[in-house]
Amino acid sequence: MSITDHDHPIDPARVAHAQNRLPSLEDASRLTSLLSLMADPVRIRLIYALDVVEELCVGDLALALGVSEDAVSYALRLLRTAGLVVTRKEGRVVYNRLADDFPAPLRDHCLRQLVALTRSAPDD
């Protein structure tokens, strides 16, 4: 609130239009916390891997991704807390898989399409 604080919208119609359609701060926060969970190289590759092979344990996941088991464990912790990943315990190994209610658009479009998009991006 420090710069100008002009009290007259320059384009009141557009401001009103935008306000009407705008998601609430609460909805936006929920959405961004979801996106934040995917906005990490380790986590997105982890999710991608689970999307492909159904389930993996921490050690194998670390091998597949080429990162430390600590990193995988931490990533899984966050995803589990958010309900995006569930575990199945078999003996002493814990298998991880994407939750059944993993957001479909996130899986179909953001994950697969965006990976393809980023791959073929000519510039940047």
Give residues in contact with a second copy (CB under 8 A). Answer: 1-6, 9-11, 14-15, 17-19, 21-23, 25, 27-36, 38-41, 44-45, 48-49, 52-57, 59-60, 63-66, 68-70, 73, 83, 93, 103, 105-106, 108-110, 113-115, 117-119, 121, 124
Distance of CA 59 to CAs 15, 52, 88, 93, Å? 52, 17, 15, 9
**12, 13, 89, 119: which one binds DNA (CB under 7 A):** 89
57 vs 111, beta carbon nearer DNA: 57
- Neighbouring residues of 58: CB distance < 8 A, sequence distance ≥ 6: 69, 72, 73, 76, 94, 96
Q: How many CA atoms lie within 13 A of 40 on its CB side?
A: 16
**34, 49, 64, 78: which one binds DNA (CB under 7 A):** 78
What values do phi and psi take at 64, rounded to 5? -65, -40
**46, 65, 96, 102: which one binds DNA (CB under 7 A):** 96
